[in-house]
A and B are shown apart, each in its own frame.
Chain A
Amino acid sequence: MLITQLKPKETIASLVEGKVFVINCHGCKEVSFPEKEAVELQKELEAQGKLTGVITTDYICNPENMKLRLESHKQEIDAADMILVLSCGVGVQTVAEYFEDKKVCAACDTYPLPGFQGVTPLEYDCDQCGECYLNITGGICPITACSKSLVNGQCGGAKNGKCEVDSNMECGWERIYRRLAQLGRLDVLKCPTQIRNYATEEKTEA
């Protein structure tokens, strides 16, 4: 089981740029979703005239299904400057992959709980680290895409774009760099030094 918890209000406010399209994932049945807070956030965005549309669904990590849904909301999405995704890290990465040139942001942090996980396609991994980095990595998770889980950029170990540990694995940080370049968002690499927190409250309780 896992918990998706809305990031602090200030964090979300700092992510929002222009008009926003929101995607809520009520997830697999094992996910605990912050429904009340999500509705509140959407109301606020609407009151500010920033909301172009909302999709509320489950299993956004199913790329085929998601593609159809996104196509049916094309107009509202085109009108938005960014997509705000309220889901676990897998969902955010699925959506980010679909929009190559639109900013996709994670509004939630994902925490693990003991018990079953939702059944998800595993191409996009979420480690449920509780401090989602997807907003500063172009929607590609550095914890799972980098074999050292580095959070401040690539090491010097990639050869021909492949990881030093596994020559079949693309260097996660080279993917992140390319993605940010494509989005015109290389400036986010100038963010403060990131230091992982292995004692997120929820983890300690679990």
Chain B
Amino acid sequence: MKITEAFERGEFVVTAEVGPPKGIHIEHVVEEAKTYLSGITAVNVTDNQSSVMRLGSLATCKVLKDEGLTPIFQLTCRDRNRIALQSDLLSAAMLGIENLLLLTGDHTRMGDHPQAKPVFDLDSVSLIHTVKQLESGVDLGGNELVGEPPKFAKGAVVSPCSDSVDAQLAKMERKVAAGCDYFQTQAVFEPEKFIKFMEKAKQFGKPVQVGVIIPKSVGMARFMNNNVAGVHVPDDMLEELKKDKEKTKAGITGVEIAARIIKECRPYCQGVHIMALGWEAKVPELLKQAGI
């Protein structure tokens, strides 16, 4: 199923993401996804997230699909040129994978192979354009595809709490112009900033899912504040995480915070994207508390 169909039905669309392992044993990922994420609309599979080499996103998507889940194939421009990207897109369509999240990708320097060549032959915008072109039956080189062309729901990301939010909106507009169907955002901890962002973003007329991370500890929150672009955990939330260490460790505080964020943002957007970062087991409780 295409995620865009759920948006069209007016559903508040819930997605979460899983990261493939660094190895060939995927049973644990599949089990967790089946147990905790089977009730939601779709599951993102990250593409060598943070430039750390892992099992492939496409293969993992196929396994999840065979288990009855709806995968979203994340595809970055960091590791493949336009030939490899288009080839993987055709492979995805052949395997029945219908949802994409198209990203530029972190630089290779950020990950566990800093010596690797950063590719970036295309970027998020030109990759969306490329998918659109494939859907019309022609590849980026102008050559016709044989037979029926692929059709995808084309997603992209935007960073609503970035310190350069106007530049982010300009880029979002370029993604819409290139043919993007829906957006998932970077993690939001400041709903008021997200609401302000949505006031401007709604002009593009594309569904937006607010990105949510369950904060696991004060240390994790501080780390994000210092290192993760477009993410800022405000002081009062840091205090909340600090107050009762046991409660925070058990994930109760984090789930409370994340549920509150979803509730505050819900009237302004069309869904939520949960980045559980290993806490997939807490997703059902989070959704319950958020009233979804």
A189 to B104, CA, bound (A): 18
Interface residues on A, range: 20 to 34
Q: In chain B between 69 and 126, which residues have their CB closer than 8 angstroms to a CB of chain A? A: 104, 106-107, 109-110, 118, 120-126
Partner of B126, one of A173, A193, A198: A193
Q: In chain B between 257 and 277, which residues have their CB closer than 8 angstroms to a CB of chain A? A: none
Asked if A195 and B126 sit within 8 Å, CB to CB, the answer is yes
**What are the residues of chain B within 8 A of A195 when measuring CB–CB?**
122, 126, 129, 140
A28 to B230, CA, bound (A): 43
The main secondary structure of chain A at its interface with chain B is: loop
Q: Which residue on chain B has the smallest CB distance to residue A154?
A: B167
Given A154-B168, A156-B157: A196 and B121 interface contact (C-beta under 8 Å): yes
Interface residue total, chain B, C-beta cutoff 8 A: 36
Interface centre among B107, B109, B123, B129 (most CB of A within 10 A): B123
In the complex, B250 has a CB within 8 A of chain A: no
Asked if B121 and A153 sit within 8 Å, CB to CB, the answer is no
**What are the residues of chain B within 8 A of A73 when measuring CB–CB?**
none
Q: Which residue on chain A has the smallest CB distance to residue B158?
A: A156
Interface flags for A161-196 (1: CB within 8 Å of B; 0: not) read 100110000010110010001000010011001111
Query: Chain B interface: which of A14-22, A38-46, A109-117, A142-150?
Result: A142-150
In the complex, B62 has a CB within 8 A of chain A: no
Subset of 27 A-B contacts with CB under 8 Å: A150-B104, A152-B125, A152-B171, A152-B174, A153-B170, A153-B174, A154-B164, A155-B104, A155-B124, A156-B104, A157-B106, A158-B229, A161-B164, A164-B107, A165-B107, A165-B109, A174-B164, A177-B166, A177-B167, A177-B170, A181-B166, A186-B170, A189-B170, A193-B125, A193-B129, A195-B140, A196-B121
Q: What is A's interface to B at a CB cutoff of 8 Å?
A: 147-161, 164-165, 171, 173-174, 177, 181, 186, 189-190, 193-196, 198
